[in-house]
Amino acid sequence: MKTAFQVDITFEQILSLVKQLPRQQKLKLTKELEKEAIDSKLSSLLKAFKAPKLDLETITEEVEIVRKGIYEKPKH
């Protein structure tokens, strides 16, 4: 059986605790925070560039539109 505790702690208290950590643990904490930030940024980027699912018919239609435009351009 696990018991969960919730503790109210301020940023200043956390910062004070971090400052007390040995150098190696500070480095480890830094790496973990960087990974979390990178994961968050990557998720945001992927969400921003997410395209709706495309089927072969939609792709073929777009290709034909582009081809038609290319072939209809006057040649110099």
60 located within any domain: yes
Number of domains into which the chain is organized: 1
Neighbours of 26 (CB within 10 A): 13
Q: Give this prediction's pTM.
A: 0.50
Higher pLDDT among residues 55 and 22, named by residue: 22
User: Distance between CA atoms of 74 and 76, rounded to whole angstroms?
Assistant: 6
Higher pLDDT among residues 54 and 61, named by residue: 61
Range of the domain at 40: 11-72
For the chain, give the percent of residues with pLDDT over 90.
47
For the chain, give the percent of residues with pLDDT over 70.
99
pLDDT digits (tens, 9 = 90+) for 42-57: 888 888 887 778 889 9
59 located within any domain: yes
41 located within any domain: yes
1 located within any domain: no
Q: What is the mean pLDDT of the chain?
A: 89
6 located within any domain: no
